[in-house]
Each structure stands twice: as structure tokens, then as C-alpha cells.
């Protein structure tokens, strides 16, 4: 495992500008930032502050207009679209607000989806998925489809899918937005346990106070720039 002091993500003078109509929007404005191995960090800010844009850049879902982004020692700016896809497949786990599960697939099949894309053997895939589903509290529910599960259970499947590949980092975009506060606390308990017990690095974008209370680091963004970056506990 990488040493705690090493950076999983490094951003150097990163900017992203969009054109909306005739208006230039600075979604991310000259951001320099490091995310360390083992962080449980939250990017916070009001709607439109740039937190999701920042997460999308780190995840290789979007490219900056300027600056350098390094994830797990790989410079994303130098990569083609297909190479970025490989990085997302092998090194970055994603958890989305809307779960993004495939409706016709079971919990097992959803959790195994990226592993199948990686070409993992059937035996290794089975062992890893069953172990992962158990670790997220879904043992016995592997044959259920998303419409047979609660919102909280669906998000647990999404977390299982994200961590089954053993990524360098999990990026979670508003992961508690579509669940009630009790379920949100349960999901955060789970992710904190995965962070603590398995050393999985989590980076959230959120405006949920539940997430901010749990994070060991709060990165506040305003108008596309980092306003403050504080260790909590």
C-alpha cells in the first residue's frame, strides 16, 4: 500500500472555462490541490461553485483548459480519450448522486460490471464481488435488481462497484443527496469504515452537512477557486 504521505491526486494551476451563450464561465479557476492517500475529504460549496466540475476533472471525465492533473502518478493531460477510459476503469471508482446502476442487472452483476470490463477471471471476479457485497452489508441480496432495493441499498451497490476494482481513489459526487438522513448516516458509516479498515481514499463533492461532519478535511470552493482547505480531525 502507498505510504500515507504520498499524494494520490495533484492539481497544479488547473482551470476550466465553459462558454454558455456568449458568456464565459470560469467553472474551475487556477486551482492547486493535493489529495493524500487515506484522505476522507470533502469539496464543499454552494451550487455553481465548481465542486462537481473539479471532481469531473480529477476523474478524467473532463479536461482542463490549463494546468496539470496527476492521478496515481499519471498525468491525465497527456492521455488520449481511450487511455483516460482505461485510467477510470482501473484506478478511479465513482459513486454518483443518482446511483447510475444498470436497471436490468442484479446487484452482483452491477458490482461485477467494471471487473468484467477489466477482463478479471470469472473465479476472481466472483470471489471479489461476493467479498465486496458482504463488506457493504448486502450479503444475501446479490440477486436483486435495483427496483427491488431501497435507495440506500442501491447506493451500497454503487459503492461496491466503485471499490471492487481496488481503485487508487473513490470520487463520490453528492452520494447522500437522494436518501433520507438516517440512510445518509448509514452510508457514511460504511464509507468511513472502508476508509479506516481498507485504507480506501474518498473524495466527496457535497453540500450535505452530514458528509462535512464526517470528513477529515474540508476543501471549500467559491466561484471556481479554493477558498480554504482545513484538516478537521
| Domain contains 165 | yes
| Domain contains 76 | yes
> What's the pLDDT at 101?
95
pTM for this predicted structure = 0.92
| Domain contains 2 | no
Least confident span in 1-15, 57-71, 208-222: 1-15
| Residue 96 pLDDT > 80 | yes
> What's the pLDDT at 1?
37
> What's the pLDDT at 2?
39
Q: What's the domain range around 184?
A: 7-231
| Domain contains 112 | yes
Band of residue 232 on the pLDDT scale cut at 50, 70, 90: confident
| Residue 5 pLDDT > 50 | no
| Domain contains 1 | no
- Strand pairing of 217-222 and 7-20? unpaired
Which residues, at least 6 apart from 10, have a Cβ–Cβ distance to it below 8 Å? 33, 34, 35, 68, 69, 70
Rg (CA), the chain: 17
Mean pLDDT of 110-118: 94
> What's the pLDDT at 53?
93
Q: DSSP assignment, residue 146?
A: G
Short-list 191, 58, 56, CA closest to 135: 191
CA 17, CA 171: separation in Å to the nearest integer? 22
Please give the angle made by the CA atoms of 103, 123 and 88, to the nearest 5 degrees: 55
Domain count, the chain: 1
Query: Taken in order 79, 85, 87, 88, is the CA torsion positive or negative?
Result: positive
| Domain contains 116 | yes
> What's the pLDDT at 20?
85
| Per-residue model confidence as pLDDT tens digits over 121-175 | 999 999 999 999 999 999 999 999 999 999 999 999 999 999 999 999 999 999 9
Domain harbouring 133, CATH code: 3.40.50.300
> What's the pLDDT at 48?
87
Please give the angle made by the CA atoms of 215, 219 and 220, to the nearest 5 degrees: 120
Band of residue 220 on the pLDDT scale cut at 50, 70, 90: very high
| Per-residue model confidence as pLDDT tens digits over 38-91 | 999 999 998 889 999 999 999 999 999 999 999 999 999 889 989 999 999 999
DSSP string, 35-57: EETT-EEEEE-STTSSHHHHHHH
Yes or no: say if 63 and 80 are a contact pair by the CB < 8 Å rule. Answer: no
Which residues, at least 6 apart from 77, have a Cβ–Cβ distance to it below 8 Å? 63, 64, 67, 68, 69
Torsions phi, psi of 17, nearest 5?
-120, 135
| Domain contains 22 | yes
Amino acid at each position: 500500500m502507498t505510504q500515507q504521505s504520498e499524494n494520490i491526486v495533484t492539481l497544479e494551476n488547473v482551470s476550466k472555462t465553459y462558454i454558455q451563450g456568449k458568456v464565459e464561465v470560469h467553472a474551475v479557476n487556477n486551482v492547486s490541490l493535493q489529495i493524500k492517500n487515506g484522505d476522507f475529504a470533502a469539496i464543499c460549496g454552494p451550487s455553481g461553485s465548481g465542486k462537481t466540475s473539479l471532481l469531473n476533472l480529477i476523474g478524467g471525465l473532463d479536461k482542463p483548459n490549463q494546468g496539470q492533473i496527476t492521478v496515481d502518478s499519471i498525468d491525465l493531460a497527456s492521455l488520449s480519450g481511450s487511455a483516460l477510459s482505461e485510467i477510470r476503469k482501473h484506478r478511479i471508482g465513482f459513486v454518483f448522486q443518482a446511483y447510475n446502476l444498470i436497471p436490468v442487472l442484479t446487484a452482483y452483476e452491477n458490482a461485477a460490471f467494471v471487473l468484467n470490463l477489466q477482463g478479471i477471471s470469472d473465479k476472481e471476479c466472483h470471489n471479489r464481488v461476493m467479498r465486496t457485497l458482504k463488506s457493504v452489508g448486502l450479503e444475501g441480496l446479490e440477486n436483486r435488481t435495483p427496483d427491488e432495493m431501497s435507495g440506500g441499498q442501491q447506493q451500497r451497490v454503487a459503492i461496491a462497484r466503485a471499490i471492487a476494482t481496488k481503485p487508487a481513489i473513490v470520487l463520490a459526487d453528492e452520494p447522500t443527496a437522494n436518501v433520507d438522513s438516517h440512510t445518509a448516516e448509514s452510508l457514511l458509516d460504511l464509507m468511513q469504515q472502508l476508509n479506516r479498515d481498507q485504507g480506501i481514499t474518498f473524495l466527496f463533492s457535497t453540500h450535505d452537512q452530514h458528509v462535512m461532519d464526517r470528513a477529515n478535511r474540508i476543501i471549500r470552493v467559491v466561484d471556481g477557486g479554493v477558498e480554504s482547505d482545513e484538516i478537521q480531525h
